[in-house]
Amino acid sequence: MDLNESLSLVSVIGAAGKMGSGITVLVAQEMARLSMLEENRDKTFRLIAMDLDPVALRGLQDYVHNQAIKAAEKQTVALRGLYADRKDLVENGEIIEDFARRVESMVWPSTDLAAVKGSKLVFEAIVEKIDIKTMVYKQLKELCPDACFFTNTSSVPIGKIDEQAGLDGRIIGFHFYNPPPVQKLVEIIRAKSTTDEVASIADEIGERLRKTLIPSHDVAGFIGNGHFIRDGIHGLVQAAGLAKEHGWAKALYAVNRVSQDWLLRPMGIFQLIDYVGVDVFKFIQDVMDAHLDEDLTDPVIDRMNELGVLGGQHPSGAQKPGFFTYDRGRIAAVYDMEQKQYLALDPQGWCAEVDAWLGDLPGGFRPWKALLMAPDKKAALVAHFAALDAMDTNGAQLAKAYVERSRQIGQALVDDGVAFGAEGVNGVLTSGFYHLYGPINDFCS
For 348-351, the CB contacts below 8 A with 24+ separation are 350/249, 350/250, 351/253
pLDDT in tens, 69-92: 998 888 887 887 777 777 777 678
Helix, strand, coil distribution of the chain in percent, nearest 5: 55, 15, 35
Instruction: Classify domain 224-431 by CATH number.
Output: 1.10.1040
Residues with Cβ within 8 Å of residue 299, at least 6 apart in sequence: none
Structure confidence at residue 290 as a pLDDT band (50, 70, 90): very high
pLDDT in tens, 363-401: 999 999 999 999 999 999 999 999 999 999 999 999 999
Q: Supply the pTM of this predicted model.
A: 0.93
Helix count and strand count (H, E) for the chain: 18, 11
pLDDT in tens, 132-186: 999 999 999 999 999 999 999 999 999 999 999 999 999 999 999 989 999 999 9
Q: Do residues 338 and 248 touch, judged by C-beta distance below 8 A? A: yes
Stated as kind and residue range, the H or E segment containing 46 is: strand 46-50
Q: Do residues 401 and 377 touch, judged by C-beta distance below 8 A? A: no
Instruction: Classify domain 3-216 by CATH number.
Output: 3.40.50.720
What is the maximum alpha-carbon separation in the chain? Answer: 72
Residues with Cβ within 8 Å of residue 306, at least 6 apart in sequence: none
- Cα–Cα separations (whole angstroms), residue 84 to 77, 96, 101, 225, 243: 11, 13, 18, 45, 64
- Residue 331 DSSP SS3: strand
Domain residue extents for the chain: 3-216, 224-431
- Cα–Cα separations (whole angstroms), residue 140 to 13, 148, 172: 10, 10, 15
